[in-house]
Amino acid sequence: MSGTVCLTFDFDSFAGALPGGSPGDLARAEFAAAGVPRILNLLEHRAILSTWFIPGHTVQTYPALCRDIVRAGHEVALHGYAHENNSRLTAREERQVTRHAFEVVADLLGEAPKGARTPSWDLSAATLDILTELGLDYDSSLMAHDYRPYFVRQGDHHRVEGPSALGNPSPLVELPISWSLDDWPAFETNGRGRPLQNARLVFENWRDDVVYMLRDFQDGVVTFTSHPEVTGRGHRLLGYERLVDELRQMGVAFARMDSVVQAFLAGQSYGEYRPEHGSFRERPPGGAGM
């Protein structure tokens, strides 16, 4: 079966260490600026387009690097202004921050961005409403599926005493993600002794998620999340190159997220579960009564 891989990069830099980052935290965050050209060269050599989620703070701190990303044909989407945790903001504060980030990215692009990824994949009760108000087409912060875009559901009610009442799909498309396909929890250390995982083994896990998708799903879409300050370091970048080259040999397509969303909104079916054996089928996420 065929499939699509979305390579995405969160260019957080200093924004990911604010507020109150130590000199060590800030220096580690600054390495993102060294990693960006390495990743861009890797993608250019393989003629792959990708999506970059960039905080407004990073756009304003590194305007030349961000222009390089745009000139290379990659998509830039929202990622907060200073990598704020939305759940710690009031609705008013979150709306102001998100609008400011929107304006900064729109100025970089010369047009309105199409999508967003919340910092740390942290959403408040107001987040989806705010993204919809801004006219965005998609979000990439939720995990209700792994290979299928879906319309984000709003209006859920969950309680311990009885079943959850599921709301209705919104106009916002979700391109789902996973912590297991994010380089940060696999490789970064908080300085308190958490071990750093072997890059070859981590990227084998990522590859095998694609192998499973190609086996059991028709036109599935999977998203990889990387950070220049993490995957941009030598041995990890070599592992990432091997991963990308293996996927190319499998015949997968690589696409910007906005391209996938545009096709989805035009009626393209993605991620239909078609195992060779078995009579059970999935119900699509995003709708009530699934």
State the SS3 of 90-124. CHHHHHHHHHHHHHHHHHHHCCCCCEECCHHHCCC
| Residue 55 to residue 32: CA distance in whole angstroms | 13
Residues paired with residue 3 on neighbouring β-strands, in sequence order: 220
Dist. CA 202–CA 197, nearest whole Å: 7
Q: What pLDDT is recorded for position 92?
A: 97
Residue 18 pLDDT: 87
pTM for this one? 0.94
Query: What does the pLDDT read at residue 286?
Result: 58
What is the Cα–Cα distance from 261 to 174, expressed in whole angstroms?
9
Integer angstrom CA distances of residue 111 from 118, 172, 183: 20, 19, 30
Task: Map residue 251 onto helix, strand or coil.
Answer: coil
Identify the H or E element spanning 32. helix 32-45
Measured N-to-C along each axis, helices 32-45 and 23-30 cross at an angle, to the nearest 10 degrees, of 20
Q: Do residues 228 and 43 touch, judged by C-beta distance below 8 A?
A: no
Pairing state of beta strands 253-254 and 150-154?
unpaired
* Grouped pLDDT means (10 residues each) for the chain, 290 residues: 94 90 89 98 98 98 98 98 95 97 98 97 95 97 96 91 92 97 88 77 97 97 98 97 98 98 97 88 61
Angle at 98 between CA 92 and CA 104, to 5 degrees: 140
Give the per-residue pLDDT at 288. Answer: 45
- Work out the burial of residue 74: count CB atoms within 10 Å of its CB; fewer than 13 is exposed, 13-18 middle, 19 or more buried: buried
- CB under 8 A, 24+ apart: contacts of 89-94: 89/124, 91/124, 91/125, 91/126, 91/130, 94/124, 94/126, 94/127, 94/130
Residue 234 has φ and ψ, to the nearest 5°, of -40, -65
Specify the pLDDT at position 285.
67
Q: Specify the CATH superfamily of domain 3-157+167-271.
A: Glycoside hydrolase/deacetylase (3.20.20.370)
